[in-house]
Amino acid sequence: MLKRILKWTGILLLLIAIGITIAVATRQNLKYDAPYPDIAISTDSTVLKRGEYLVYGPGHCADCHGKVDMLAEKERGDIVPLEGGFKFNLPVGYVYAPNITPDKEAGIGNIPVKALARALRYGVKPDGSILFDFMPFHNTSDEDMTAIFSYLSTMQPVNHPVPESHLNVLGKVVKAFLIKPAGPTAEVPKSVKEDTSVEYGKYLANSVANCRGCHTNRDLKTGAFIGEDFAGGFQIESPIDQAHFACITPNLTPDKETGKLAGWTEDVFIKRFRMGKLIKHSAMPWGPFRRMSDDNLKAIYRYLQTVKPVKNKIEKTLIELEA
């Protein structure tokens, strides 16, 4: 009797395993529908100048998409080719930052701008499949989105093929059942007034500069936020030695005891950004952020003073990983 029970239990478990395997395999290329933003390429010089500022400043595209062996230049905030190739080692596998130059073979030169804008805003690739949600541009205004893609279209094309990303077994399961297209959290504005207000700081910190994305603890398997906004605690591996070092993001909330910015004035905040990278293993895009205007930094500082204070003490920023 026991042998029969074990036999049928084994058969049942095998059937379940086969069923899950088939389901995971068939769900790898699910297609999703999402609207195409009303974005078109502009040749207006003011728009292109704005695009360059966003791409190499607060949008910090160069930190991930910039030429891999130009680390020193990126840390200085230089304009570098956005040929992609940086490898993210994640619990779900490894993902490469794509080439976003207008090269028609290796880059984005053959992809319609509306499809690129949809990918950035809704997390749906041009072929309709899911895009792992690395970038915080879902609520970026139509005007800024236009500026970004207009500027990218003027860049020198670089024929630099980037390897295909690879998901491990866990990654394929996550993609099959847990990842859904991201999207705006509110109605996306046509334009946002650039000033030093708390409202504009909120826009930058959440939609372009991605302060929330790194200074909020997240589940690296799915990208889901699992901590209080801006309270820090997110572990990010070193961009130059991912196997041995990582940094824990600081608490940016206005908590008087554990907030990193406690006691900082607006002037101190701006001066810190002008100093650039001080911890060589930090993944903070200090180079691009050094290019940000004083007014933009003022807006971010003023917004951070208004977020919910969270008591979350980060004992140390730099940690050495166990072998």
> pTM above the 0.85 mark?
yes
**Residue 276: Cβ within 10 Å count:** 14
Instruction: Give me the sheet containing 87-90, strands edge to edge.
Output: 87-90, 93-96, 166-167
Residue ranges of alpha helices (H) inside the chain are 2-26, 45-56, 61-65, 71-76, 113-122, 142-153, 169-177, 198-203, 211-214, 266-275, 286-290, 294-304
Per-residue pLDDT tens digits for 136-178: 799 999 999 999 999 999 999 999 999 999 999 998 988 888 8
Element (H, E) at 248: strand 245-248
Q: What is the pLDDT of residue 174?
A: 86
> Where residue 279 falls among pLDDT bands split at 50, 70, 90?
very high
Percent of the chain with pLDDT over 90: 80
Domain definitions of the chain by residue range: 28-187, 192-323
Average pLDDT over residues 256-285: 97
Find out whether 211 and 300 touch, Cβ atoms under 8 Å.
yes
